[in-house]
């Protein structure tokens, strides 16, 4: 009985942690989850238990939500009255509007998006009180929607004056003095391969052959040459932790003068780099490597589309245009396939989940939403960067050096057991046994569903069943990549851990890694790893929130239209349906046609009690867009028709 009670509490937590949940009263939760009248007293008991366990909280209006730390600064929409104003918070979990005294409105008008400092959190019968400290613009102004998310997540959108002044003092070209003591690789043929719109090019690649072996060079911008430890630039970069890529803008970790200028590996310009040069056998084994400070000059700036047409489509016109590079590209394609097979043999998990790409009009409204497509050229660069990251991590692990690793721990056994239960419905198996699940087992599972209707769904569930990768000072291995050694070395323009690693590498190369230096790194690296993990999560959440908003805006223009989709989630309160363009919406259980439906947990199904009609994970359905709420970031569907298997 206790076990059943705990399971019901977990369902309540699952509901409140759902992205589309907004605080509800017990009665509203009962209606939403279709709790029977005779079970409503039990529901109240469970809610009280969760409150006493500090897992959820209830506000003075009697509405329940997951317990979170209270923030003192919020973003919301200002509404003006004659003698005062109030702000409706964007954060859907904040139930109370914020009272703004007339003298603290600071010029805000109806419809302005504003930032508010909360001065009082209120009490029974009295609203929270605050002051407007920044006006972001009118709610309908282009870009204000994304700017509101930027401010809500505390993302620093402007660089301080001292940081900009320091960046301005950095030259636009490298000098002879800068190149002293470096390996001169300017005569080595190399290219950058990035997306067409990329501006911060922090990696270049080269490839030559030597007695049947591949000499692969991965050349990374030496950002640490310009961003000195403890400088204003360095402190700001650590505070930001990472560049953030939103639908209509990039919030860079470094000022553009560096990220798009002297640190960007632009073609036909001398650039300072750290190079990891690896000798790789035809079997994909790294038998030798060196990590050196270098100076390079990129021969050509290439993009994924063009390179893919050269190596995969064998486009004759392009192969003729880039004739001098074609042999290198062809060898790169062969090596990329070799490395992919090596990773596959050791059990690395290859997730091929599509990211969302938006096409926006001049006002920032989405006019197209589609999956971001990958190709052989993107996979080629990914393979080379993975190999460099592994090689560098193992090199410095063997040296017993202070370091920052990229860690991905083994998944929890309970989640793997749930995954095994879920995939049985597709006649798939996952052998849990006494030992932990291996990456190879999950890889084998994903290969079985590749190019099937279930691929995207199973891949998503597998990904959700795994732990989140993070930065650590211990080399704990990377489960997803099935490797003992891994770090982030290849993107110092946009990730702070890579920049930190570059400093450590250079201290070793220059013979400066003495006891005092090692002690210094041992003191600071735990904080660097924690801050980098924290800012990475913040960036991911801001990107996710932006994506949800733009998807809502797009679907708001398609109310009443019909789409084919796949059931991507089944809960007590309804089914989630994902469309081919990656957009997901909810069909509430009350809107499912037919009789009374109940949730069958072990089968991930909603089943009609009388008719036996079933809605289950992976099932194809046809839906009609019924409503969109941009403020709540929710999309609601109705079932239009089931699609026959």
386: closest CA among 502, 478, 254, 501?
A: 478
β partners of residue 292: 275
* Residue 644 pLDDT class (50, 70, 90 cuts): very low
What does the alpha-carbon distance between residue 149 and residue 540 come to, in Å, rounded to a whole number? Answer: 12
DSSP conformation class of 71: P
Give the phi and the psi of residue 375 in degrees, each rounded to 5: -145, -175
393: closest CA among 471, 285, 293?
A: 471
pLDDT at 643: 67
CA distances from 417 to 339, 439, 440, 469, 564 (A): 31, 15, 16, 21, 31
Q: Could you read off the pLDDT of 6-24 as tens digits, one per residue?
A: 888 888 888 888 777 888 8
Neighbours of 575 (CB within 10 A): 30
Per the CB < 8 A criterion, the answer to whether 265 and 204 are in contact is yes
> Which strands form 300-303's sheet, in the order they lie side by side?
183-184, 286-297, 270-280, 213-221, 203-210, 191-194, 300-303
What does the alpha-carbon distance between residue 16 and residue 161 come to, in Å, rounded to a whole number? Answer: 42
Give the phi and the psi of residue 491 in degrees, each rounded to 5: -140, 60
What is the 3-class SS of 268-327, one letter each residue? CCEEEEEEEEEEECCCCCEEEEEEEEEEEECCEEEEHHHHHHHHCCCCHHHHHHCCCCHH
What does the alpha-carbon distance between residue 114 and residue 117 come to, in Å, rounded to a whole number? Answer: 10
- Residues contacting residue 286 through CB under 8 Å, at least 6 positions apart: 278, 279, 280, 387, 391
Q: Could you read off the pLDDT of 83-100 as tens digits, one per residue?
A: 999 999 998 778 789 999
- Is the four-CA dihedral 383, 387, 332, 269 of positive or negative sign? positive
pTM tops 0.75? yes
393: closest CA among 518, 289, 320?
A: 289
Q: Could you read off the pLDDT of 106-149 as tens digits, one per residue?
A: 999 999 999 999 988 777 678 889 999 999 999 999 999 999 99
415: closest CA among 3, 5, 10, 4?
A: 10
Q: Could you read off the pLDDT of 568-592 as tens digits, one per residue?
A: 888 888 999 999 999 999 999 989 8
**Interior angle at CA 435, CA 429 and CA 439, nearest 5:** 60
Task: Tell me the percentage of the chain whose pLDDT exceeds 70.
Answer: 98
76: closest CA among 119, 17, 130?
A: 130
Query: Domains in the chain, ordered, with CATH?
Result: 2-66 (1.10.10), 73-141 (2.40.50.700), 161-409+470-548 (no CATH), 413-464 (no CATH), 558-642 (2.40.50.140)
């Amino acid at each position: 009985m206790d076990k059943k009670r705990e399971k019901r509490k977990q369902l309540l937590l699952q509901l409140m942690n759902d992205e589309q949940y907004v605080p509800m009263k017990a009665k509203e939760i009962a209606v939403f989850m279709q709790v029977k009248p005779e079970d409503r007293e039990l529901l109240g008991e469970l809610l009280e238990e969760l409150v006493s366990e500090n897992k959820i909280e209830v506000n003075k209006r009697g509405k329940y939500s997951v317990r979170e730390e209270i923030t003192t600064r919020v973003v919301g929409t200002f509404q003006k009255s004659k003698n005062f104003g109030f702000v409706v918070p964007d954060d859907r979990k904040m139930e109370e509007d914020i009272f703004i005294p007339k003298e603290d409105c600071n010029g805000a008008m109806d419809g302005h998006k504003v930032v508010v400092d909360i001065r009082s959190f209120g009490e029974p019968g009295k609203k929270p009180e605050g002051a407007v400290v920044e006006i972001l613009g009118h709610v309908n102004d282009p870009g204000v929607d994304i700017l509101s998310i930027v401010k809500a997540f505390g993302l620093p959108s402007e660089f301080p004056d001292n940081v900009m002044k320091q960046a301005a003092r950095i030259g636009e070209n490298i000098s002879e003095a800068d190149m002293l003591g470096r390996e001169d690789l300017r005569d080595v043929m190399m290219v950058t391969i990035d997306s067409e719109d990329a501006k911060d090019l922090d990696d270049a690649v080269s490839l030559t052959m030597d007695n049947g072996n591949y000499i692969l060079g991965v050349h990374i911008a030496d950002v640490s040459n310009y961003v000195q430890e403890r400088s204003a630039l360095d402190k700001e970069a650590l505070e930001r932790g990472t560049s953030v890529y939103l639908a209509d803008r990039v919030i860079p970790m470094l000022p553009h003068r560096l990220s798009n200028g002297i640190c960007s590996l632009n073609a036909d310009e001398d650039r300072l780099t750290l190079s990891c040069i690896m000798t790789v056998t035809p079997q994909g084994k790294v038998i030798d490597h060196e990590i050196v400070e270098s100076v390079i000059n990129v021969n050509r700036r290439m993009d994924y589309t063009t390179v893919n047409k050269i190596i995969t489509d064998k486009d004759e016109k392009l192969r003729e245009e880039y004739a001098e590079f074609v042999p290198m590209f062809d060898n790169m394609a062969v090596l990329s396939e070799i490395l992919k097979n090596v990773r596959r043999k050791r059990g690395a998990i290859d997730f091929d989940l599509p990211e969302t790409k938006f096409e926006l009009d001049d006002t920032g409204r989405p006019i197209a939403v589609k999956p971001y497509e990958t190709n052989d050229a993107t996979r080629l660069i990914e393979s080379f960067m993975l190999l460099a990251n592994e090689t560098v991590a193992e090199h410095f692990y063997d040296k017993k050096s202070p370091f920052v690793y990229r860690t991905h721990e083994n998944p929890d056994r309970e989640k793997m057991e749930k995954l095994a239960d879920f995939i049985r419905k597709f006649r798939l198996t996952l052998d849990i046994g006494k030992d932990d699940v291996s990456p190879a087992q999950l890889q084998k599972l994903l290969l079985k569903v590749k190019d099937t209707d279930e691929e995207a769904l199973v891949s998503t569930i597998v990904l959700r069943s795994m732990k989140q990768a993070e930065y650590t000072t211990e080399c704990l291995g990377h489960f997803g990549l099935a490797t003992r050694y891994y770090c982030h070395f290849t993107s110092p323009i946009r990730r702070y851990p890579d920049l930190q690693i570059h400093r450590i590498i250079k201290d070793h190369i220059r013979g400066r890694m003495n006891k005092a230096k090692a002690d210094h790194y041992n003191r600071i690296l735990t904080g660097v790893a924690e801050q980098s993990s924290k800012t990475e999560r913040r960036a991911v959440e801001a990107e996710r929130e932006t994506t949800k908003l733009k998807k809502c805006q797009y679907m708001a223009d398609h109310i009443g239209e019909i789409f084919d989709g796949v059931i991507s989630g089944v809960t007590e309160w309804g089914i989630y349906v994902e469309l081919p363009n990656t957009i997901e919406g909810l069909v509430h259980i009350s809107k499912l046609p037919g009789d009374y439906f109940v949730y069958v947990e072990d089968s991930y199904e909603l089943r009609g009690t009388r008719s036996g009609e079933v809605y289950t994970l992976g099932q194809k359905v046809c839906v009609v867009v019924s409503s969109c709420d941009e403020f709540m970031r929710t999309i609601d569907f109705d079932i239009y028709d089931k699609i026959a298997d």
